[in-house]
A and B are shown apart, each in its own frame.
Chain A
Amino acid sequence: MTRGRPRRPWDRTPPEQREYFDLLGEGLVAQLAAPSAPDAGSRGDAPASGAWLHVGPDGIVRAFTGKAEVGQGTRTALGLLVAEELRLPLERIELEMADTDLCPWDMGTFGSRSMPDAGPALRAAAAGAREALLDLAAAARSLPRDRLEAREGEVRLRGATSGTPYAELVRGLREVRTIDRKIGLTPPSAWERAGHPVADPRGADVVTGRRAYVSDLRPPGLQYGAVLHPPRYGARLRHAEPGPEPLPAGTRLVVEPPFVGAVGPSPRLARAALAQVRADWILPEPNDVDVEAYLRSHPRTEESWDRVEDRAGDPDHALASATVTVRATYRTAYVAHVPLETRAAVAEWEGRRLTVWVGTQTPFRARDHVAEALAMSVDDVRVIVPFTGAGFGGKHGGDVATAAARLARAVGCPVALQYSREEEFRFGYFRPMAIIDIAAGAEKDGRLSAWTFHNTNAGAAALRTPYRVAHRRIDNELSESPLPQGAYRSLAANTNNFARESVMDELAARLGIDPLEFRRKNLEDERLRAVLDRAADRSGWGGWVPRAGWGHGLALGFEKSGRVATVAEVEVRGERDLRVRRLVTAFEAGAIVHPRNLLSQVEGAAVQAIGGALFEEIRTRAGRVLNPRLSQYRVPRFSDLPEIEVVLLDRPDLPPAGGGETPMIATAPAIANAIFDATGRRVRHLPLLGKEPTAPTDRPSTENLTPAAG
């Protein structure tokens, strides 16, 4: 998909100077006024996505977006939206994604922003192109504009069965239309293509092995790299030099302290060369001896989008007078993303200009990172994200791109770099470990009356409660982490939802009220009630025949405009021996664009959530990961698969929201609540089958924190 290269990246070129037609050929271009890159760190007020597209005389529409396809199905979903506005079959749309030379600037593919941001931008550009095509046809054929319509890739007289193909209208044309972002869009209720099931038009490439992921790219003259990593997190290189042994044939060391790497004819030989290096490290004092104590005592003070504070009434007073109260501390472990394709990049230089193909969710940030690290102009760095073997929030940034670029610069030929699985575990980053301190109270009639919720190090996603409560104090603390941490599918929503929905269950149990009834009684949001009721109905909530060791639990959640409710059925056969038998998830995220993909996302989210709920946990000692292999870090397998039932609620009256993240956030608490139902045992830590974290005496009250007993 690499095309020619513009003089400067188009996102950094004024619209009137972009060489659209030199690179794409004649045709019609429709562009949205694109935002420019904002100052770093301003994630809270993300600028609107840009979009442009090109209608060519081959009848193909190339639509450009800065978003990346990382397995979440955005390519096809966005393609459907473009196809819809242009009244074209999906096969005629080519999404050009995440190429920093050609695509509009984008902050990154995270936070379920592709549908709400890139979706409307591409729809607007496509609608604008359609209107331009109607103008062209009216002028070319001397037809009344208001009697024309676009259908099946043609402009037709209203009601006619054939007309002038777009290809013909744009032949010889070199016209750029700037589209108003507020142009009228086809409402979801009128969609003929979007919203209907389609298969991936490029599915054959996947099942035949033809699809090239980053680690499969083989430009001519390619060599393979390896990089030296610190022995533990935070270590700094003091000195490195080649050892006395000869290097394997065809290999070279690249020593640019603090960077040290090697290049050779295969990854194995590059690693063998690297093994000859003698390195001396400055080791930091380990600070992961008691991570919880460290997190609690190392608050971060800087401003952040990732902080929320929600206070009302007098929660302390309300707690003191509540009929029942729960005071508890919940904990979640560091978790790894484990994308099946490890971090990988291929770098190729042409003179002073560089192209890096890399599996990243933030191509434009990676471009900045590479340019800064290599002291280059951003204009000379091109980052392209081809297909990558998933991300789940774990592939932010540009470390591997920068390393590949250094190696390629040093040896003068293209270099591929791919992390081993162990490197992926050791030198990526994790979902944050977190501690949540909660005190909550409810009244005899089932009314929630007091809610204090404070998390340390999780983040703000899904921090607020969707339940009506007059007296509340909700906030979060960000901490210095002794281990590298970062984004993860659903971010903090997993953690916050686990704690909140567990405590709601605890309150219901104290009151002797059915957990479904208790939630319904306190819920305001109609859309949440709808998913809750659907999940309960589908699961047959309350109608089960009691069975020793079996239990049921439910939980709900809302985040990023999506609403979810999950009912879990578990069989507990002993301590650490538990099977999730059934998960019923109801999910709603506005209008459904790509129903098959959404179903896959919700089912997949359920499976991935089982891992974090039951057994996924990164263990470290002195800044080293103790379980950096798939044989030591268990992720869900076929044999862990429960019966999964998904109910998708379509809301054509609402704009489409993202569907990759939120469906997973009710799973862990639903399972925890089902364990309680089965055994009477309340597990307050993730993973649920992990060891009970020890609680030193100097910590805040952990009343009710009884150790897990078989």
Chain B
Amino acid sequence: MTGGTVDHGIRLTVNGREVAVAPHPDRSLLEVLRYELGLTGTKYGCGEGECGACTVLVDGGPARACQLPVAEVEGAMILTVEGLARDGALTDVQRAFVETGAFQCGFCTPGMVVRATGLLARNPHPSDGEIREALDGNLCRCGGYTRIREAVRRAAEAAAPGGSP
């Protein structure tokens, strides 16, 4: 039984909005986001947790939505790329990606932005090694890692006291 009622649904909070979705053992958080909630910013890239295109924050920590059965995130606070900018104002990380030109096709960008946001929330001044380690699970097939690293550095600077706005 799938796509059924939400009466006995699983409740979760997505980008501040409470939603209820039908439980199903095979249903991933990615499927719910993309096909039920219309949140297509979170991408499908591989379906096995190897590419990071589906990265979201679950209770503040990075997670791969394609590997998460939706039943496992009951009650959790989910933040997707669509939930980052408030009232149209880009976050430091988002602005840094635009200003640095840290994307080519842009398909990995939502996952990268979300992962970088998670990193900077925990570690506002990461070293290059820490950036590399945090983003190693996010593939950019266009090979834009140099620009992406620069964008994360720039976002960290912007967020620092006295950093450029």
A interface with B by C-beta (< 8 Å): 70-73, 199-200, 203-204, 206-213, 215-216, 218, 224, 248-250, 265-269, 338-342, 387-390, 392, 418, 420-422, 596-597, 600-601, 603-608, 629-631, 635-639, 641, 644
A sample of 24 cross-chain residue pairs with beta-carbon separation below 8 angstroms, ordered by A number, consists of A200-B103, A206-B109, A209-B42, A209-B110, A212-B40, A249-B1, A249-B2, A268-B26, A269-B3, A340-B141, A340-B142, A341-B43, A341-B107, A342-B44, A389-B106, A390-B104, A600-B101, A603-B143, A607-B145, A629-B46, A630-B48, A631-B50, A637-B136, A638-B131
Given known A-B contacts A341-B107, A638-B145, A418 and B42 have beta carbons under 8 A apart: no
- CB < 8 Å A-B pair total: 186
- Give the CA-CA distance A72 to B103 in the complex, in Å: 10
- Give the CA-CA distance A595 to B134 in the complex, in Å: 29
- Within 8 Å CB of A209, what residues of B? 39-42, 80-82, 110
- Within 8 Å CB of A249, what residues of B? 1-3
The 9 closest A-B pairs by CB, nearest first: A209-B41, A71-B105, A607-B143, A389-B107, A604-B143, A203-B98, A216-B40, A209-B81, A630-B50
> What does DSSP make chain B's interface, helix, strand, loop or mixed?
loop
Cross-interface CB contact of A638 among B85, B98, B103, B132, cutoff 8 Å: B132
Cross-interface CB contact of B48 among A340, A389, A421, cutoff 8 Å: A421
Known: A71-B105, A203-B103. 4 other contacts (CB 8 A): A199-B98, A206-B103, A607-B144, A608-B141
- Within 8 Å CB of B133, what residues of A? 639
- Give the CA-CA distance A207 to B146 in the complex, in Å: 17
Cross-interface CB contact of B101 among A199, A224, A389, cutoff 8 Å: A199
- Within 8 Å CB of B142, what residues of A? 71, 340, 390, 600, 604, 608
Q: Chain B nearest CB: distance from A205 CB in Å?
A: 8
Closest B residue to A391 using CB positions: B105
- Within 8 Å CB of B98, what residues of A? 199-200, 203-204, 206-207
Within 8 A of A (CB), among B26-43: 26-27, 31, 34-35, 38-43
- Within 8 Å CB of A630, what residues of B? 45-46, 48, 50-51, 139
Q: Chain A nearest CB: distance from B28 CB in Å?
A: 9
Q: Chain B nearest CB: distance from A110 CB in Å?
A: 15
- Give the CA-CA distance A387 to B105 in the complex, in Å: 8
B95-115 contact mask (Cβ, 8 Å, vs A): 1 or 0: 101110101111111100100
Q: Chain B nearest CB: distance from A675 CB in Å?
A: 21
- Give the CA-CA distance A390 to B40 in the complex, in Å: 17
- Give the CA-CA distance A211 to B35 in the complex, in Å: 16
| Residue B125 is within 8 A (CB to CB) of chain A in the complex | no
B144 touches A603 (CB 8 A): yes
B35 touches A224 (CB 8 A): yes
- Give the CA-CA distance A635 to B143 in the complex, in Å: 10
Cross-interface CB contact of A606 among B80, B143, B149, cutoff 8 Å: B143
- Within 8 Å CB of A199, what residues of B? 98-99, 101
| Residue B156 is within 8 A (CB to CB) of chain A in the complex | no
B45, B95, B143 pick with most chain A CB within 10 angstroms: B143
- Within 8 Å CB of A639, what residues of B? 132-133, 136
Q: Chain A nearest CB: distance from B29 CB in Å?
A: 13
A420 touches B47 (CB 8 A): yes
A206, A392, A597 pick with most chain B CB within 10 angstroms: A206
- Within 8 Å CB of B135, what residues of A? 638
- Give the CA-CA distance A208 to B98 in the complex, in Å: 10
Cross-interface CB contact of B94 among A72, A204, A268, A387, cutoff 8 Å: A204
A635 touches B139 (CB 8 A): yes
- Give the CA-CA distance A342 to B108 in the complex, in Å: 12
B45 touches A340 (CB 8 A): yes
Given known A-B contacts A203-B97, A208-B90, A421 and B47 have beta carbons under 8 A apart: yes
- Within 8 Å CB of A644, what residues of B? 146
- Within 8 Å CB of A341, what residues of B? 43, 45, 105, 107
B136 touches A638 (CB 8 A): yes
| Residue B84 is within 8 A (CB to CB) of chain A in the complex | yes
- Within 8 Å CB of A267, what residues of B? 31, 35
- Within 8 Å CB of A212, what residues of B? 40
Closest A residue to B112 using CB positions: A207
- Within 8 Å CB of A206, what residues of B? 97-98, 103, 106, 109
- Within 8 Å CB of B95, what residues of A? 207
- Within 8 Å CB of B85, what residues of A? 208
A268 touches B27 (CB 8 A): yes
- Within 8 Å CB of B1, what residues of A? 249
- Give the CA-CA distance A535 to B136 in the complex, in Å: 29
Given known A-B contacts A267-B35, A637-B139, A629 and B44 have beta carbons under 8 A apart: no
Closest B residue to A73 using CB positions: B104
| Residue B53 is within 8 A (CB to CB) of chain A in the complex | yes
Cross-interface CB contact of A390 among B3, B48, B132, B141, cutoff 8 Å: B141
- Within 8 Å CB of A597, what residues of B? 101
A338, A421, A600 pick with most chain B CB within 10 angstroms: A600
- Within 8 Å CB of A600, what residues of B? 101, 104, 142, 144, 147
Closest A residue to B144 using CB positions: A604
B105 touches A70 (CB 8 A): yes
- Within 8 Å CB of A339, what residues of B? 105, 107, 141
Given known A-B contacts A211-B106, A607-B145, A200 and B101 have beta carbons under 8 A apart: yes
B105 touches A340 (CB 8 A): yes
- Within 8 Å CB of B50, what residues of A? 629-631
Cross-interface CB contact of B109 among A70, A207, A641, cutoff 8 Å: A207
Given known A-B contacts A207-B113, A630-B139, A638-B138, A340 and B147 have beta carbons under 8 A apart: no
Given known A-B contacts A208-B90, A638-B136, A388 and B105 have beta carbons under 8 A apart: yes
- Give the CA-CA distance A639 to B51 in the complex, in Å: 13
Q: Chain A nearest CB: distance from B80 CB in Å?
A: 7
- Give the CA-CA distance A500 to B61 in the complex, in Å: 49
- Give the CA-CA distance A390 to B95 in the complex, in Å: 23
- Within 8 Å CB of A208, what residues of B? 41, 81-82, 84-85, 90, 94
Cross-interface CB contact of B44 among A207, A418, A601, cutoff 8 Å: A418
- Within 8 Å CB of A387, what residues of B? 105-106
Within 8 A of A (CB), among B12-31: 26-27, 31
- Give the CA-CA distance A299 to B44 in the complex, in Å: 40
- Within 8 Å CB of A388, what residues of B? 105
- Give the CA-CA distance A80 to B149 in the complex, in Å: 27
- Give the CA-CA distance A326 to B1 in the complex, in Å: 68
- Give the CA-CA distance A536 to B60 in the complex, in Å: 47
- Within 8 Å CB of A71, what residues of B? 104-107, 142
- Give the CA-CA distance A2 to B101 in the complex, in Å: 27
- Give the CA-CA distance A208 to B81 in the complex, in Å: 6
- Within 8 Å CB of A210, what residues of B? 41, 82
